[in-house]
């Protein structure tokens, strides 16, 4: 059993993104495509954002827009991750624990009333730390 969630208030986050084919299952290919368009990953924040279910929802591989980014030149779309109140949990060594993402979100949904008008967020904080954000009412 994971530790209890903490509550966070997130600001809106303007991002560049690539849609994933096959919803969350296509996330790795979407991130590979996103990263291939960037000159550097240094100092960038990356997010996986899902609207709807992991099986057939809309998944975006995102990076926060930096002042030096030219979205048109990069061939990337712009979007804003909605801010608001979110429950947050941490997954350590996430590359080895990708299988924990869905069950962790499911646990959080038992703990809180989910605001389905906003997406769930995966924030890749470090190479070994992933934060999961569930939008709550």
CA distance 91 to 127: 11
Q: What is the pLDDT of residue 41?
A: 87
Instruction: For the chain, give the mean pLDDT.
Output: 93
Domain ranges of the chain: 6-135
User: pTM to 2 decimals?
Assistant: 0.93
- Interval 23-37: pLDDT, tens: 888 899 999 999 999
Which pair of structure tokens corresponds to residue 75? 């061939």
- The confidence score (pLDDT) of residue 2 equals 54
Give the number of other Cβ atoms within 10 Å of residue 104's Cβ. Answer: 19
DSSP structure string for the chain:
-PPPPEEEEEPPEEEEEEEPTTGGGGHHHHHHHHHHH-S--TT--EEEEEES-TTTSEEEEEEEPPTT--HHHHT-EEEEE--EEEEEEEEESGGG-GGGHHHHHHHHHHHS-B-TTS-EEEEEEETTEEEEEEEB-
Domain 6-135 -> CATH class: alpha beta
What are the tens digits of pLDDT across the range 87-96?
999 999 999 9
User: Which pLDDT tens digit goes with each residue over 34-86?
Assistant: 999 998 888 999 999 999 988 889 999 999 999 999 999 999 999 999 999 99
């Amino acid at each position: 059993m994971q530790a209890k969630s903490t509550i966070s208030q997130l600001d809106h986050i303007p991002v560049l993104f690539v849609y994933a084919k096959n919803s969350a299952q296509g996330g790795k290919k979407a991130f590979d495509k996103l990263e291939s368009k960037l000159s550097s990953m240094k100092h960038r924040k990356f997010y996986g954002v899902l609207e709807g279910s992991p099986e057939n929802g809309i998944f975006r591989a995102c990076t926060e827009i930096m002042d030096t980014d030219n979205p048109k030149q990069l061939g990337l779309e712009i979007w804003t991750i909605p801010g608001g109140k979110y429950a947050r949990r941490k997954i350590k060594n996430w590359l080895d624990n990708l299988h924990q993402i869905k069950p962790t979100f499911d646990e959080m949904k038992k703990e809180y009333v989910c605001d389905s008008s906003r997406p769930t967020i995966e924030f890749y904080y470090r190479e070994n730390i992933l934060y999961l954000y569930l939008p709550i009412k």
